């Protein structure tokens, strides 16, 4: 049932990726998410979340130095932007959550490396979840990969357990700490479902929240990237619940989503 919710999240990200180009507004991107959730009978987990003020949209859209929680609206996407899209939905009582950062047109070598390292950190975590028995072992390797690349892992925001609710225990940090060496550590065993979401900054890891009370930006104005999947640990290893459809799932998708050559994969 969590896979069903995750597949809706994946479809919504595909719908947004299809219209992402210079000139589109962040509000138009958000509409692609809303329409996908409505078509699939899913409920947004982000709309009206938290506050005050509650988050006013289905998707967090964060561009360049914006790390997370950017509010969609009239902002126009430009060539060279790094556009982070983070969304989640509930379907039949179960949740899915995923994020991706897209490059819009040509970007600098540093920004491409930032995307590669951030996605690489997520993929490393998923791979290590197959063999590690404690999250601290995974987090240590994620942090090392980012540090060895010359970038910084965001520490103020972390991944999370996910199930019937979007944010469930435990907290899932992307770095090692004394707390994670102690009581904050947790077992990786079949049945555990985690939203793994490394956020990586090109410069300082320090963050600032803007006056809208939501948008989080890097203190030095340098770029940030964010990739996330909802991952279930099963007896067959980690499974991407927000990943692309398997062959036997294709029939339930709209025609335009049935061609794997059109998919944005992460
Ligand atoms: Mg999340």
**Average pLDDT of span 48-68:** 97
Closest CA to 196 of 258, 142, 262, 130: 142
User: Residue 190 has what pLDDT?
Assistant: 97
Q: How far is the CA of 67 from the centre of ligand 1 (A)?
A: 13
Q: How far is the CA of 105 from the centre of ligand 1 (A)?
A: 26
pLDDT digits (tens, 9 = 90+) for 107-151: 999 999 999 999 999 999 999 999 999 999 999 999 999 999 999
Rounded distance between C-alpha atoms, residue 194 and residue 210, angstroms? 28
Q: How far is the CA of 230 from the centre of ligand 1 (A)?
A: 8
User: Residue 165 has what pLDDT?
Assistant: 98
**Average pLDDT of span 181-189:** 96
Residues around ligand 1, an ion, CB closer than 5 A: 97, 195, 197
Q: How far is the CA of 100 from the centre of ligand 1 (A)?
A: 11
Q: How far is the CA of 159 from the centre of ligand 1 (A)?
A: 6
Q: How far is the CA of 251 from the centre of ligand 1 (A)?
A: 28
pLDDT digits (tens, 9 = 90+) for 72-102: 999 999 999 999 999 999 999 999 999 999 9
Q: How far is the CA of 15 from the centre of ligand 1 (A)?
A: 19
Q: How far is the CA of 131 from the centre of ligand 1 (A)?
A: 23
Rounded distance between C-alpha atoms, residue 33 and residue 9, angstroms? 8
Q: Where are the domains of the chain?
A: 2-262
**Average pLDDT of span 230-234:** 98
User: Residue 20 has what pLDDT?
Assistant: 98
**Average pLDDT of span 181-199:** 97
Please tell us whether the domain made up of 2-262 is placed in CATH 1.10.10.10.
no
**Average pLDDT of span 235-242:** 97
Q: How far is CA 237 from CA 10, 178, 188, in A?
A: 20, 28, 10
Rounded distance between C-alpha atoms, residue 174 and residue 197, angstroms? 8
């Amino acid at each position: 049932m969590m896979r069903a919710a995750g597949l809706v999240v994946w479809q919504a990200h595909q719908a947004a990726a299809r219209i992402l180009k210079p000139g589109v507004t962040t509000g138009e991107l958000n509409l692609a998410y809303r329409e996908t959730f409505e078509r699939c009978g899913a409920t947004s987990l982000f709309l009206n979340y938290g506050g005050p003020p509650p988050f006013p949209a289905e998707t967090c859209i964060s561009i360049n130095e914006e790390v997370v929680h950017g509010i969609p609206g009239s902002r126009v996407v430009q060539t060279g932007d790094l556009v982070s899209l983070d969304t989640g939905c509930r379907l039949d009582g179960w949740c899915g959550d995923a994020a991706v950062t897209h490059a819009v047109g040509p970007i600098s070598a540093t920004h491409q490396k930032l995307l590669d390292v951030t996605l690489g950190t997520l993929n490393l975590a998923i791979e290590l979840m197959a063999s590690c028995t404690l999250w601290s072992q995974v987090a240590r390797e994620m942090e090392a990969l980012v540090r060895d690349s010359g970038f910084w892992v965001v520490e103020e925001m972390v991944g999370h357990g996910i199930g019937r609710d979007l944010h469930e225990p435990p907290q899932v940090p992307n770095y090692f700490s004394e707390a994670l060496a102690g009581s904050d550590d947790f077992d990786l065993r079949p049945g555990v479902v985690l939203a793994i979401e490394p956020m990586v900054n090109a410069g300082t890891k320090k963050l600032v929240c803007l006056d809208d009370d939501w948008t989080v930006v890097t203190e030095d104005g340098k770029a940030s990237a964010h990739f996330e999947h909802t991952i279930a640990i099963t007896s067959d290893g980690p499974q991407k619940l927000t990943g692309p459809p398997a062959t036997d799932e294709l029939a339930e998708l709209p025609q335009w989503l049935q061609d794997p050559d059109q998919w944005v994969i992460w």
